[in-house]
Amino acid sequence: MGSGTSCGGDSLSPYGYKWQCVEFIKRFHGTNNGPNRWNPNNDWAALHYAYKYYGGAAKLGLDSFPNGGTIKPKPDDIIVFDQAKSIGDIYGHIAIVTNVTETSVTIVEQNSSGTGYTTLSVDTTKPGYYVNDMGKYPVLGWLHVMKGVFILKNNFVHIFL
């Protein structure tokens, strides 16, 4: 995490450098939601640094919700971590939310944990829904497919409400 060098060397997948967190997010959404179906300009390809996904959410057909806001993340949302400048990381990190409770958020990700899963605690003393940092990586917020987006997948139309 945070080296900018692929864990798979120079090996590329259709979604970017193998085993990087950004490649995982693109592959997950490409497989499950078909991001280019609602984003014909393929703006996903232009985002290489994980933390930039938060600011670029609207171009990707995603709504952004700030950490500490009133909206909780949901399973399959993208959680975005800011740069960890204190340890020299300029890339940030990004993962997929798998479970949400009042006190924790579980994520699945690539190139950070040994198991691929991490559970983050929620600070219930702060206002809103505030997910604590992942080590030196502060949580910027989470991204969700915009309401009213239609996606054709496996010959079925999925409508996000």
Quick check: is 113 in a domain? yes
Residue 1 lies in a domain: no
Does any domain span residue 132?
Answer: yes
- pLDDT value for 151: 46
Q: For each successive 10 residues of the chain (161 residues), what is the average pLDDT?
A: 50 68 79 54 66 86 92 94 90 93 94 88 95 95 73 46 45
Strand partners, 17: 12
14-50 b/e (C-beta count within 10 Å ≥ 16 → b): ebbbbebbbbbbbbbbbeebebeebbeeeebeebeeb
Q: Report yes or no on 130 lying in a domain.
A: yes
- The pLDDT of residue 161 is 45
Task: Give the CATH number for residue 141.
Answer: 3.90.1720.10
Which domain covers residue 155, as residue numbers?
Answer: 12-159
pLDDT of residue 44: 59
- Does some domain include residue 6? no
Please give the single-letter amino acid code of residue 117: Y
pLDDT recorded at residue 102: 95
The total of structural domains in the chain comes to 1
The per-residue pLDDT for 160 is 46
User: Domain for residue 95, yes or no?
Assistant: yes
